Amino acid sequence: MKKTLILSAMFCYGFITAQIKTPQPSPTATITQKVGISNISVEYSRPGAKEREIFGGLVSYEKMWRTGANKATKITFDENCVFGGAKIKKGSYSLFTIPGKKEWTVVLNKNTELWGVGEYDKEKQVCSIVAKVIETKDFTESFTIDFGTFQSFSAIMSLKWANTKIGIKIESLAAKELEKQFVELLTKGPSANDYYNGAKFFADNTSEYDMALEWINTAIEKKPDAFWMKFHKARILKKIGNNKQSISVAEEVISLAKEKKDDYGYIKRSEDLIKSIKSK
């Protein structure tokens, strides 16, 4: 009987504690920062100093550290970037460090499910960089990762705890892609799709229908077989009040679309447009 009561009490205690949420000793945090035109996200746990000696004490020098507590810190890049001088492909990585008195080694690894350094696989390591230690006057109680020193396509990611700080420059490679896009746009001029998208925007969000018509005509000149563009021309003509020409263009859409393997619903949309005009 006594054994049964003890087991029942243990079961009840376990059930109750499972239902009660208590604060984490090292709370998790996620920071997302836009650098250039892409995002960088960091997920990590934030242990507190709690009057302990941190570097050289709780965190040993010259030994790999998960860089936080609990699960290893994870960093995600939306786009390809340069991390502390190393080119990194977009994706998620675990972030480990080897703290030293004057500099830290910072490494990224493809395995994002590590909970310590025991199963660290160097074969999955994608980079290893060095960051100088900065001694700070202000004391940071909880381990902190944040971003600052922003430029158009770069920022400094800082790791801070106690009176120690390191900074890692992260540079977005989006500038090269934008450069390519600008050169293409300014040398070749706007594409058919640029005019098409502009025409749709003006037709649906402004009353500048003449501008929309001009742009859709330019788009069609650049891409004469694009029956979907001609459908939007028919819509614009209807908005202007030129119903006769709108029907004529819609009929042309139907004729062109029937020659294609897939009309993407534009035959039905054109037929409905014609009906809506004739029913008035």
Cα(228)–Cα(217) distance, integer angstroms:
12
pLDDT, position 181: 77
Q: What is the mean pLDDT of the chain?
A: 90
pLDDT in tens, 28-77: 899 999 998 889 999 999 999 999 999 999 999 999 999 999 999 999 99
CA angle, 11 then 16 then 18, to 5°: 95
List, in sequence order, every residue forming a beta bridge with 146; answer none if it has no partner.
Answer: 158
Handedness of CA 223, 224, 225, 228 (dihedral sign): positive
Render 103-114 in DSSP notation, one character per residue.
Answer: EEEEEEES----
pTM of the model: 0.62
Cα(252)–Cα(231) distance, integer angstroms:
9
The tokens of 181 are what? Answer: 């896009």
List, in sequence order, every residue forming a beta bridge with 108; answer none if it has no partner.
Answer: 95, 127
pLDDT, position 2: 53
pLDDT, position 13: 52
Which residues does the chain have with pLDDT short of 50? Answer: 7, 16
**Is 190-278 CATH 1.25.40.10?**
yes
Render 131-162 in DSSP notation, one character per residue.
Answer: EE-EEEEEEEEEEEEEEEEEETTEEEEEEEEE
- Extents of the domains making up the chain: 24-175, 190-278
Q: Where are the alpha helices (DSSP H) in the chain?
A: 2-19, 174-188, 192-205, 209-222, 227-240, 243-258, 266-278
The tokens of 255 are what? Answer: 């004729």
pLDDT in tens, 96-123: 999 999 999 999 999 999 988 888 999 9
pLDDT, position 217: 96
pLDDT, position 10: 54
